[in-house]
Amino acid sequence: MSTNDDSNTLTQAVHDLASALWFGGNLMGVAGVNKSGSDLSVGKDRIAVAASAWHRFSPVQWGSIATVLVTGTLLTKSSSQRLALQEGYARTGAIKVGFVLAGAAATAYASYCGHEIARAAEAAERRGEPVSVKDATTPTQNTPHDLAAWQRRQRVAQVLVPLLAGGNIACNAALVQSYRAGATAKGVLGRLHLR
């Protein structure tokens, strides 16, 4: 590993690993965790199993988001000349920041929806209504209205998270590729309008 001041290999690697963890963990949650309780016979338990898994993943998820933000800031700071000189670099970086911030907001909203789902399930149970759900984020025809609404909101937010985290990864790939000699020359010439 290089020790030059302009080498950001470790920062880039940590950034990439945190991005992959955020993306992959959420994709697994949407595809697997939310469905994991569907084998249980009690609707409230279907919600509780997924809620427990998401609760355990939450510190890792927020740690990966924080790591993406910190390492992304360090990488941006180290690329200040490229931001000024290479056409398209700042735009791609801004889009990447947008993906990260929107992904963090979607993550927070999905978590909030999970708390509201638990609250709505408890309230339905207190009213004597059956908590009929297909899985943690999929209502049935008999799901109480407020619970079903929160489930739908959470499902949308949770699907958005890996899409936004994936957008972050795609923008990061474009930024890393812009370090190639041909891309650098094209970007600088584009900035100078000499293409």
Digit-by-digit pLDDT tens for the chain (195 residues) are 444 445 788 999 999 999 999 999 999 999 999 999 888 988 899 999 999 999 999 999 999 999 999 999 999 888 877 777 777 778 888 999 999 999 999 999 999 999 999 999 999 999 999 899 999 999 999 999 999 999 999 999 999 999 999 999 999 998 887 765 565 555 555 656 655
Note if the pTM is more than 0.95.
no
As to burial, measured by CB atoms within 10 angstroms (0-12 exposed, 13-18 middle, 19+ buried), residue 41 is exposed
pLDDT value of position 193: 67
Query: What phi-psi label fits residue 193: left (phi over 0), alpha (psi between -120 and 50 degrees) or beta?
Result: left
CA distance 100 to 14: 15
pLDDT value of position 80: 79
- Asked if 37 contacts 136 with a C-beta cutoff of 8 angstroms, the reply is yes
pLDDT value of position 81: 77
Owner of token pair 């920062």: 11
pLDDT value of position 175: 84
pLDDT value of position 76: 87
CA distance 195 to 181: 15
pLDDT value of position 192: 61
pLDDT value of position 1: 41
CA distance 96 to 75: 12
Tokens matching residue 139 = 């209502």
In Å, what is the CA distance from 87 to each residue of 52, 73, 176? 46, 20, 14
CB burial readout 142-160, b (16+ within 10 A) else e: ebbeebbbbbebbbebbbb
pLDDT value of position 54: 95
